[in-house]
Amino acid sequence: MDELRTTPFSAGLRRLLAEALQDGEQVVWQGQPDGIARAAIWRFLWWIGCPWLLLTVIAVGNGWIDQATQPLAMIGVGMVAAPFVMLLQDLQTLYVITDRRALIVRTAWSRRTVTPTSFDAMDAVFEILDIGSGVGHLNFASGRSTRSPDTDYTGRYGFRFVRDAPRIRDILDDARTGKIRRPHLERTAGSTGVATRKA
């Protein structure tokens, strides 16, 4: 199933995925984070950032602050821009399940990265954290560095902000246990255009 939205970043994600696939490896599913859902969670920054900027402008106009103008303005701009920055990163992120592993492909900020997790490295039981509106986190590994954007504060790692996480969990579990049928893989290959790398 091809769930890669058509954006200015799509072609780069497809190319990087094609380069990352091993000989004979087949894509079972691919999709992207729901950037709107992530931005909505962080929208409270707008409620703080916009008044912050307004007060900074008023303070500058009245001569209340001088040398502190630049840092105060930068803080306000950062709060207002943060949800948009997260959305841009999500548009440059691709989650992939193959018949061998899970991949997180990213081209954000001109850094091309592919982070693989083999089935053997995954937790025995996958965890879903529901965040509402049909969106959730699918955690399939633990003990990872919390510096990763795909890891929570406890080290649980996986696909963040995905729609219909239970369905994706079932696809990942079927791929890990070998329940994905060959014909299904071939149909998926036809829909994605990068689903199989021939030996």
- Alpha helices, H only, 21-142: 35-41, 44-61, 69-91
Strand segments, DSSP code E, in the chain are 2-3, 27-31, 93-98, 101-106, 113-118, 127-132, 135-141, 157-163
Considering only 8-12, 25-29, 48-52, 88-92, which range has the smallest mean pLDDT? Answer: 48-52
What's the pLDDT at 32? Answer: 93
- The model's pLDDT over 67-83, given as tens digits with 9 standing for 90+, comes to 666 777 777 777 777 77
Query: Percent of the chain having pLDDT more than 70?
Result: 80
- Are 157 and 147 within 8 A, CB to CB? no
Q: What is the mean pLDDT of the chain?
A: 82
Q: How many CB atoms lie within 10 A of CB 163?
A: 16
Mean pLDDT value across residues 37-42: 70
Fold adopted by 2-38+88-192 = PH-domain like (2.30.29)
- Are 113 and 149 within 8 A, CB to CB? no
- For the chain, the maximum distance between any two Cα atoms, rounded to a whole number of angstroms, is 71
- The model's pLDDT over 103-159, given as tens digits with 9 standing for 90+, comes to 999 998 888 999 999 999 999 999 999 988 889 999 999 999 999 989 999 999 999
Whether the per-residue pLDDT at 189 is higher than 70: the answer is no
- Are 89 and 4 within 8 A, CB to CB? no
| pTM, entire model | 0.76
Going from N- to C-terminal start, the domains of the chain cover 2-38+88-192
